[in-house]
Amino acid sequence: MSHRQANWNDFRKFDLVRFPVVSATPYEYGALMRAYLLVVCLASVSLARHYIPIFLGSNEPPYLIKDDTRPLDLRFRFIIEPHVRVNVQLLVIVNSLPHDFIVRQRIRDSWAMPDLYDETSTKVVFLVGNPESLEEQEMLAIEEGHFHDVVVASIDEDYYSLSLKTYAMLLYKNTRFPKAKCLVKADSDNVLLVRSFERLCDETSMVRFSCSVKQLLM
């Protein structure tokens, strides 16, 4: 056997060890087919429940539903809010829902822990809209009295109120913390490195973010 043929045989052995041939039994193949057909049937049922009423005319397609064109009502007030500190330089406002008590607590126990930022110059608050019941409002008042970080605005919670809640954040910052240098808007599913925002706020005279998108001319 030549040296070249020996090397080729060694390569084939290595290839078989590294890439073994796997073959499925008829039973395993049938099980995979049944699982595949089950997934297809479930997907078909979900699509049929959505599209059949549209085809029959009982439901309108989502793109035909008219948007709410009523002007925004800016006449709202802050029902519950914490005590204001005058030396705050960085204000972080987290958009939250009234019933998300557990989510807010998880944020307090994670990236919003006071040990992770300078509590004397940074303030983290949660902005929520109108509670759905008097009991929920009382729970929010208790939560605010314990943690001092809940702001309740008289805004109904729905999709079309997102821009109004953003306006409420700006209004809260300008009226309660007018001397704060930086404002960070966050959602409850965000994870922030507050120390990095503090450093950015300290090292920059004016913090501004912009998006530059090149327009492609056809």
Q: What is the pLDDT of residues 124-161, one digit of tens each?
A: 999 999 999 999 999 999 999 999 999 999 999 988 78
Q: What is the pLDDT of residues 106-121, one digit of tens each?
A: 999 999 999 999 999 9
- Give CA separation, 37 vs 6, 41, 52, 99, in Å: 48, 6, 21, 40
Q: What is the pLDDT of residues 13-69, one digit of tens each?
A: 544 445 455 555 666 667 778 888 888 888 887 777 777 776 777 676 666 667 767
* Whole-angstrom distance, CA of residue 170 vs CA of residue 161: 14
Cα–chain center distance at 40: 30
pLDDT computed for residue 56 by the predictor? 74
Average pLDDT, the chain: 82
Question: Which of 176, 153, 134 lies closest to 78 in space, CA to CA?
Answer: 153
DSSP secondary structure letters along 60-101: --GGGSPP--PPP-----EEE-PPPPTT--EEEEEE--TT-H
